[in-house]
Amino acid sequence: MSTTQQIKIQLKPQARRHFSCTIYATEECNLNCDYCFVYKWHERGLRGRFLEPETAKKIVDFLAKEADSIFIGWFGGEPTLNVRTIRYTYEYATKTYPNKRWVMGMTTNGVLLSNKEIIRRLDGVIRSVIFSIDGVEDAHDLHRKFRDGRGSWRYVRDGLINALNWLGAQNVTARLTLTPETVQYMFESVKYLIKLGVRKLFVGIVPELDWDIDALQTMYNQYQLCGEYILRLIIEKGYRIHFGQARQGFEHLVALRPRGRHSHCGTGRNGVCFDVDGTIWACHRFKGYKEFMIGHVEEGWYWEQRRKVMYMFDRLKALEVNKCPSTCPFRDTCTFHCLACNYEFFGDVNKTHRPVICWYNKACLDIAVKWFMVGRHYQNKFIDQVYIEPVQRESSRPDWGGVPAEDPQCQNP
C-alpha cells in the first residue's frame, strides 16, 4: 500500500462525520485596523479579489464529498461585502445536496450589519456570527478605524445590537482583541457588552506586540476582574454567559490527560480554509504561504503536504525552543498560541511569544480555579455542563486538541 493510500485511510473516518472549514468571501475590507494580520497579505500581493459564484459552487461540490455535516465559517476581508455569493453558496448547497447538513457562520467587523437590508439578505443563511468589537468607544476606535481615520464604533455598536436581535444572544460571540494600549479598558468593555445583551465573549490578545511588564500585569488583573464579575452574574443572577477565557482555563485545570505530541488547533485537519480562487490552505491565517497550501478544489487534496502540516507542531520541540521550565504547569496543556502567528514572526510554528502567552495562560487558569471552587460550592449546573464536562469529554478523545474552525480562538481579526 502506498503512503498516499495510507494517509487517505487515516483521514477518512474523521472526514465522514463532520467537517468544519473557513471560506474567504473576499480579500477586501471596509476598515483599516492597524493590528490586523491581513496586511501581511498585501506584502504577498493578495488583495482585492472576491469569491465568485462559480468557484463557490466548486467548493460546495468538494465539501459534499467530505462529510454529511458541514460547517462553513465565512471570513475575509469583510464577508458582508460579498453577500451575493454567500447567499448563492447556501442556496446551491442546500438545493443540490439536500441530504447534507449545511450550517453557516460568519466573522464580521459588523459595520454593514448596522444596515438592516444586509441582515434581511443574510436571514436564513447565517446561523451565528463572531463579531469583532473591541469594547467601549475609546478602546475600539483606537485601532478599528475606517480608511479615512474615522472610528467605526458607532456603526459597529448598532450592528451588534441588530445582530443580537436577529440571531439571539446565544448565536452571537463578541470577540474583543486586546493590545497593550487597550487592555486597561477590558473590564469596562466586558461590563458594557454584557449590559448590551451579549452572552458569549472571547477576549483575545495580540501577543506579537510589545507587552512590557506593566501591560502584562494589567492584562492579568483585568482578566481576573472580568472573571469575577461574570461568575457573580452566573451564580447570583442565573446568567448563562459563555466566557472563552474561562473555558481555556478549564482546559488546563480539568483535562483528563495531557495533550498529544502533535495536538494543536486542528490546522490542516478540520479547520482548513478555501480561498477565493479555490486554493485550500491549512487555515485562514496561512493564506499565501505556499508551504501551507494543502489542496485545490479542482485538483483535490495534496495528501503528502496535508499530512506534513498536520504533524508540523511538535510539543517536545516547542518545549525546547521556548525554553519552558520543567516546573511550568502548562507543559502538557499549552497550545503555544496560533501556529500561523508563530510562523509569521519566528519562521517556526513551535516558537511562541513568551512571556505573553505564559501570562495569558496563568490568567485563564486562575479564572477557572475560582469558577471551579465557587461552582462546586453552589452546585452550579451551568458551570458543570458548559465548562467542565465538555473539556473532560474532549480531553478523553484520542485526538485531543482538534479545535473546530468556528472556535473564536482561531478567528483572529
How many Å separate Cα 46 from the centre of its chain? Answer: 21
Give per-residue pLDDT as tens, 20-56.
999 999 999 999 999 998 766 656 566 789 999 999 9
Instruction: Determine the pLDDT at residue 13.
Output: 41
Same domain for 15 and 123, yes or no, is: yes
Residue 398 is assigned to a structural domain of this protein: yes
193 lies in the same domain as 334: yes
The answer as to whether 13 is a domain residue is yes
Residues 76 and 222 in one domain: no
Place of cell 468538494: 62
Q: Which residues of the chain, if any, have pLDDT below 70?
A: 1-16, 39-46, 399, 401-413
- Position 412 scores a pLDDT of 33
> What confidence score (pLDDT) does residue 305 get?
95
**Shared domain check, 299 and 357:** no
Is 307 in the same domain as 254? no
- Residue 6's pLDDT is 46
Judgement on whether residues 272 and 234 belong to the same structural domain of the protein: no
- 230 and 97 housed in the same domain: no
Q: Do residues 344 and 364 share a domain?
A: yes
DSSP assignment string, 95-134: HH-TTSEEEEEEEE--SGGGSHHHHHHHTTT--EEEEE--
pLDDT of residue 277: 97
Residue 137 included in any domain: no
Residue 140, domain member (yes or no): no
The pLDDT of residue 2 is: 52
Looking at the structure of the chain, the number of domains it has is: 2
CATH number at residue 107: 3.20.20.70
- The per-residue pLDDT for 173 is 98
Check whether residue 248 and residue 187 sit in a common domain.
yes
The verdict on residue 146 lying in a domain is no
Mention every residue, 6+ apart, whose C-beta is less than 8 A from residue 132. 107, 108, 109, 110, 144, 156, 175, 177, 413
Answer yes or no: is 191 within a domain: yes
Give the per-residue pLDDT at 325: 93
pLDDT one-digit tens code per residue, 216-254:
999 999 999 999 999 999 999 999 999 999 999 999 999
Decide if 350 is inside a domain: yes
What pLDDT, in 10s, does the model give residues 3-29? 444 444 444 444 457 899 999 999 999
Name every residue whose Cβ is closer than 8 Å to that of residue 129 and which is 6 or more positions away in sequence. Answer: 105, 106, 107, 108, 113, 163, 167, 171, 172, 173
State the pLDDT at residue 392.
94
238 within a domain of the structure (yes/no)? yes
> Is 290 in the same domain as 240?
no
Q: What pLDDT, on a 0 to 100 scale, did the predictor assign at position 43?
A: 63
Please tell me whether residues 324 and 306 are part of one structural domain. no
Cβ-contact 261, 398 below 8 angstroms: no
The predicted structure's pLDDT at residue 406: 38
Domain that holds residue 378: 168-263+313-413
